[in-house]
């Protein structure tokens, strides 16, 4: 008898679905039925197709049957959320769009939610709105932290006269361009840093392969609203905690986060959370991880690593530019947002406080709240207001989407606006035009209960992506 010849098209004629199962069937037939006739093999395969459950133990075609058996989808128990949100404090609601408030309302319906607050710069995000603060019981929400884990502000102050910025403008533009990298750009060589010796890079399987990328991106900044800029610092409050007399100085301000490391961590653990924590569609991006679970403990370690990596990136940015300036800073102020902290409420309960686009503002805690490329940033000290969960705004907040911003102005209009404010810009797209942001002065007026203003930073020479 001739050697068996069987082709996939013959199985298609029998009614087999196109795909993997045909390849398995052909391979099994050629392996086990070499001397059988084509008619006999096709007859058997037709029986397997029609009643695969009866052939799961077949000596030759069990694998084919297994592919054909319809396995019912796993029925996952859906988490229940409350019908109405828990009460929470909103600051500056007059300037917050309804979609952001709706997102916060959904977050306040979660069974893990203990308390919450909405900051005056709030706008729509994924899951928790930007400007949302949420206290949870022994759980962390990856999208409550955000994609850019540990995104932060860093200000270094130099004892230069303020006319230094005018006299040295051309030179500072060159120095800023040469010593910063944005988006996909990285430095040819990056220094070593203690953050790369962290055990998390060895102990967390998912994080281990990210070490090389993290090394490569050290000292670089993201795209979007991230920046590095020189500007004029004015200290307005005496006897401040950073020891500077009232007066004007030169400052270097940066805004960036944890780059690819943080983004990969956020995506990975969000997927795990959404798989393990099955929520109604309206709340699915608020899926959480219990801190007592393996994935929750891993995410917590990875999140803290990403936050420290973001700090290391800022340290490298300020080190590079401080070196070319030839001076040491006389003060440094740094804070981060897009993070989760274990903190205590007024009644002593320990909770996980998510600040997605919100500045820590515990009593005496320093921070920087930026405006836009032509608006001031504010140097602040927290008042420790529990109604805001020790939080404040993290910036002016967007009033336009990126698409709307691009379609609402022109490069010529942006250039005129920059000129009117005496600002020189490297990069920066129309999606980051100052017109896309809320009025930072109004935002600050809505949080006088949350922070004291110690001084301001006015941008003059700005570098962004593009």
116-463 homologous superfamily: tRNA-splicing ligase RtcB (3.90.1860.10)
Q: What is the mean pLDDT of residues 257-284?
A: 95
The two most distant CA atoms of the chain are separated, in Å, by 102
| Per-residue pLDDT at 1 exceeds 60 | no
Q: Is the pLDDT of residue 165 over 80?
A: yes
**pLDDT band at residue 337 under the 50/70/90 scheme:** very high
Q: Would you say residue 428 has pLDDT above 60? A: yes
User: What is the predicted pLDDT for the residue at 83?
Assistant: 93
DSSP category for residue 122: E
Q: Are 338 and 307 in contact (CB under 8 A)?
A: no
The full DSSP string for 400-458 is S-HHHHHHH--HHHHHHHHHHTT-EEES--GGG-GGGB--HHHHHHTTTTTEEEEEEEE
State both tokens at 229.
């800029």
Q: Which structure tokens are listed for 414?
A: 């942006």
How much is the mean pLDDT over the chain? Answer: 94
Q: Taking residues 44-68, report their average pLDDT.
A: 90
pLDDT surpassing 70 at residue 73: no
The C-alpha angle with vertex 114 and arms to 440 and 83, in degrees rounded to 5, equals 95
pLDDT for position 159: 96
Residue range(s) of every CATH 3.90.1860.10 domain in the chain: 116-463
Mean pLDDT to the nearest integer, 256-279: 95
Average pLDDT over residues 113-127: 95
Q: How far apart are CA 134 and CA 116, in angstroms?
A: 4
Average pLDDT on 309-334 reads 96
Q: Which residue has the tokens 């030169």?
A: 250
Q: How large is the average pLDDT for residues 211-222? A: 96
User: What pLDDT, on a 0 to 100 scale, did the predictor assign at position 126?
Assistant: 86
Note the pLDDT of residue 35. 81
- Name the band, by pLDDT with cuts 50, 70 and 90, for residue 71: low
| Tens-place pLDDT, residues 374-389 | 999 999 999 999 999 9
């Amino acid at each position: 008898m001739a050697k068996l010849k069987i082709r996939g098209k013959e199985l298609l004629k029998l009614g087999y679905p196109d795909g993997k199962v045909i390849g398995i069937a052909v391979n099994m037939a050629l392996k086990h039925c070499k001397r059988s006739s084509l008619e006999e093999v096709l007859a058997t395969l037709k029986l397997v197709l029609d009643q695969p459950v009866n052939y799961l133990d077949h000596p030759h075609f069990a694998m084919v049957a297994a592919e054909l058996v319809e396995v019912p989808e796993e029925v996952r128990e859906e988490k229940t959320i409350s019908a109405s949100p828990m009460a929470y404090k909103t600051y500056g609601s007059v300037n917050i769009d309804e979609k952001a408030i709706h997102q916060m309302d959904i977050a306040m319906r979660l069974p893990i939610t203990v308390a919450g607050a909405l900051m005056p710069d709030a706008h729509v995000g994924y899951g928790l709105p930007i400007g949302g603060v949420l206290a949870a019981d022994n759980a962390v929400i990856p999208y409550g932290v955000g994609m850019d884990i540990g995104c932060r502000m860093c200000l270094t102050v130099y004892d230069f006269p303020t006319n230094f910025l005018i006299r040295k403008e051309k030179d500072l533009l060159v120095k800023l361009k040469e010593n910063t990298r944005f988006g996909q750009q990285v430095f040819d060589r990056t220094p070593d840093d203690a953050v790369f010796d962290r055990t998390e890079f060895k102990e967390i399987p998912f994080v281990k392969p990210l070490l090389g990328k993290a090394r490569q991106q050290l000292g670089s900044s993201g795209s979007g609203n991230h920046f590095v800029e020189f500007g004029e610092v004015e200290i307005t409050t005496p006897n401040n905690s950073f020891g500077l007399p009232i007066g004007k100085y030169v400052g270097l301000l940066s805004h960036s986060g944890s780059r690819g490391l943080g983004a990969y961590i956020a995506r990975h653990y969000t997927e795990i959370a959404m798989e393990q924590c099955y929520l109604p569609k309206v709340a699915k991006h608020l899926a959480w991880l219990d801190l007592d679970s393996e994935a929750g403990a891993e995410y917590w370690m990875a999140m803290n690593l990403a936050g420290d990596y973001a700090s290391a990136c800022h340290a490298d940015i300020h080190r590079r530019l401080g070196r070319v300036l030839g001076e040491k800073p006389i003060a440094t102020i740094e804070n981060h947002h897009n993070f989760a902290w274990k903190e205590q409420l007024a009644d002593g309960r320990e909770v996980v406080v998510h600040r997605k686009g919100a500045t820590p503002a515990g009593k005496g805690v320093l921070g920087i709240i930026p405006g836009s490329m032509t608006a001031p940033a504010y140097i602040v000290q927290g008042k420790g207001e529990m109604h805001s969960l020790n939080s404040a705004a993290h910036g002016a907040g967007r009033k336009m989407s990126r698409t709307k911003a691009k379609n609402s102005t022109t490069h010529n209009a942006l250039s005129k606006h920059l000129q009117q404010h005496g600002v020189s810009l490297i990069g920066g797209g129309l999606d980051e035009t100052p017109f896309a942001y809320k009025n930072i002065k109004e935002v600050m007026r809505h949080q006088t209960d949350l922070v004291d203003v110690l001084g301001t930073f006015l941008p003059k020479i700005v570098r962004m992506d593009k």
